[in-house]
Structure 1
Amino acid sequence: MDVYTQTRYPVVLVHGMLGFDTLLGLIQYWGDIPDQLRRGGARVYVVRLSQLDSDAVRGEQLLDQLQALQAIHGFARFNLIAHSQGGTTSRYVAEARPDLVASLTTLGTPHGGSRVADGLLKWAPEPSLQGALLKGMIELLGQFESLGSGAGFSPQRFETTLQGLSTQRMQAFNLDHPSGAPPMACGSVPELAGNGVRYYSLGGTGVLTHPLDPGDYVLGLASLFFKGEPGDGLVGRCASHWGWVLRDDYPWNHLDEINQLFGLRGLFSPDPGEVLRVQLNRLKLTGL
């Protein structure tokens, strides 16, 4: 029996902006990662949060779902693995209820803010025509994902999300949620923070990784806001740092980090599922 990923506490996967659990019964946000982790003995749960809203709103939703899992199954704490905005949403919960969170591992999370958010707020501010068109298009996509994942109609707040991911707002968020913060820009710290939660982070520096992946071309355009700074197309390399930085330069773009779309990645790039298997084994050996 394979027990390589059999951690003491269950694993909860937390999606980012414009995320879901399963879309139209066909597309898994996390690709085959949950199955890879379960094959090693891990208990894995995938939560469903608002596609477009603040970390406070999404954090309260995540907290409700963790408390429900605790009430139903009697779990004491959880190992959170979070992608993109899911990382800051999870930090909100870890700061508010550290007794519920044993560890938090973030992938491609804009802890230092996103230059894409900064750029879009300048290029398409409300109430300009381009701002209104962008807002309408993105919120329509969010509503489609909400309906397609079975959540029904839900509020979609693109401007709130974008402002929250900006560099300026993220600096303020970090002051209010400091546990696991690096001591300097692009720094790293030991994984155990003062609130008893272990923090880890991973990031990528690939953008155009597979010619058949349509997401690559969207990320390629988004990466223009970085003006050559390394990143995954949406999040800069240094901005992804939080807690113990396990690695910040995987050859992944923002979608590759969760094996999207349909697992199309660079030919010789490591499988994110296997990377997370190693991380769960690390947590297991730590007693989590």
Structure 2
Amino acid sequence: MGKRFILMILMLVLAVAFVSPGMAVTSNKKYDLVLIHGFNNRHQWGDEFLTELAANWGSGHVYVVYSNQSNRVWTRKMGGNTVTFIGERDHTAGNGSIDEQARIVARKIDLLKKRYGLSPVINIIAHSMGGLVAREVVYLRPHTVAGLVTLGTPHHGTPLAEEYEWVGMFVRGEKAIRDMTPQAVKAFNRKYPVKGSPFYRNGYLYTISGDADSWGNRGWHGELAVGWTLISLKYGADNDGVVMEGQATIRGAVHLATFDAYDHLDLIREPDVAKKAAAVLP
């Protein structure tokens, strides 16, 4: 009996020793996760952020959608777990109007469900303008989104879209920038209100916001430093480099957290933001 017990203990120790942190894990989540990027896909999902989400959902249950015309499907290993991508990871994504992007994303979600194993009901995490796109997707595909978390989304628009509308011409994103002005987003909120959004069962919209503290928050290529300075000086408002304080939340949504140490780009790079978002999604 004693020898058998010792043998069992040794087998258990060996089994644990061979479970590597880089090995694929199974999912405890009911519904797969879709990620939607922001304007022009300038701010891209960080590897640590994706690795954290893949660890929560398990291998093959996280899908990154790019709102361009490409239907190319490809995969990456993140911490030993497979993450699936559809579209090109370049700056042809995120340039159309909210409506144009939402229809592209909805169509790609349909394709992923039909051919690549995406669950019929999904969760969504979306960054910046992608949060507005995701809110329309909830309406375009009613009762198929169990929960949506938006990260630094300008739910009331951003004055930068008015101040720098001309920038859209250089990145072919004129329609996208026009749709993020406060006036345009006000009209969007009337057309796609949070209250009454056709989520699956008792699904919710959740929000997370960030904060930039100085010129040192530079972002992709200095754009957050410029945005932070203009909003701070001209409008006298604290902000994350793109979105004013309080503007990444909206009535009817559940605000999860404000990360004071993270700017607009950090929100999709830092794993603790991913962990916070993952915690509320089924």
Q: Specify if TM > 0.5.
A: yes
Q: 1:239 and 2:257 equivalent?
A: no
* Partner secondary structure for residue 7 of structure 1: coil
CA gap of 1:219–1:14, structure 2 versus 1, over 3 A, is same
User: Residue 226 of structure 2 corresponds to which residue in structure 1?
Assistant: 221
CA gap of 1:279–1:120, structure 2 versus 1, over 3 A, is closer
TM-score by length of 2: 0.71
- Aligned mates of 1:276, 1:162 — CA distance in 2: 26
Query: What whole-Å deviation, never above 9, does each CA across 1:260-281 have from its counterpart, x for those lacking one?
Result: xxxxxxxxxxxx3223223323
Structure 1 residue 32 displacement after superposition: 2.4
User: Residue 114 of structure 2 corresponds to which residue in structure 1?
Assistant: 71
Give the share of equivalent positions with the same residue, in percent. 25
- Aligned mates of 2:200, 2:118 — CA distance in 1: 25
Q: 1:58 and 2:101 equivalent?
A: yes
Query: What whole-Å deviation, never above 9, does each CA across 1:188-214 have from its counterpart, x for those lacking one?
Result: xxx997984311000111144857x56
TM-score by length of 1: 0.70
Query: What whole-Å deviation, never above 9, does each CA across 1:238-284 have from its counterpart, x for those lacking one?
Result: 1100310112343211111112xxxxxxxxxxxx322322332332x
**How many residues were matched structurally?**
227
Structure 1 residue 216 displacement after superposition: 7.1
Q: Structure 2 unaligned runs (5+)?
A: 1-18, 68-92
**Does the 8 Å CA contact 2:212/2:228 hold for their aligned counterparts?**
no
Q: How does 1:87-236 map to 2 (within 5 A)?
A: 87-121=131-165, 131=166, 134-137=167-170, 139=171, 156=172, 158-180=173-195, 196-208=202-214, 215=220, 217-226=222-231, 227-236=235-244
Structure 1 residue 161 displacement after superposition: 1.2
- Aligned mates of 1:222, 1:20 — CA distance in 2: 15
CA gap of 1:198–1:209, structure 2 versus 1, over 3 A, is farther
**Which of the numbers 19, 44, 48 marks the counterpart of 2:62?**
44
Q: Structure 1 unaligned runs (5+)?
A: 22-27, 122-130, 140-155, 182-190, 260-271
- Aligned mates of 1:172, 1:98 — CA distance in 2: 20
Structure 1 residue 38 displacement after superposition: 1.3
**Does the 8 Å CA contact 1:117/1:163 hold for their aligned counterparts?**
yes
Q: 1:86 and 2:130 equivalent?
A: yes
Structure 1 residue 232 displacement after superposition: 0.5
Structure 1 residue 119 displacement after superposition: 2.0
Q: CA RMSD, aligned part only? A: 2.9
CA gap of 1:74–1:44, structure 2 versus 1, over 3 A, is closer
**Does the 8 Å CA contact 1:63/1:93 hold for their aligned counterparts?**
yes
User: Residue 273 of structure 1 corresponds to which residue in structure 2?
Assistant: 271
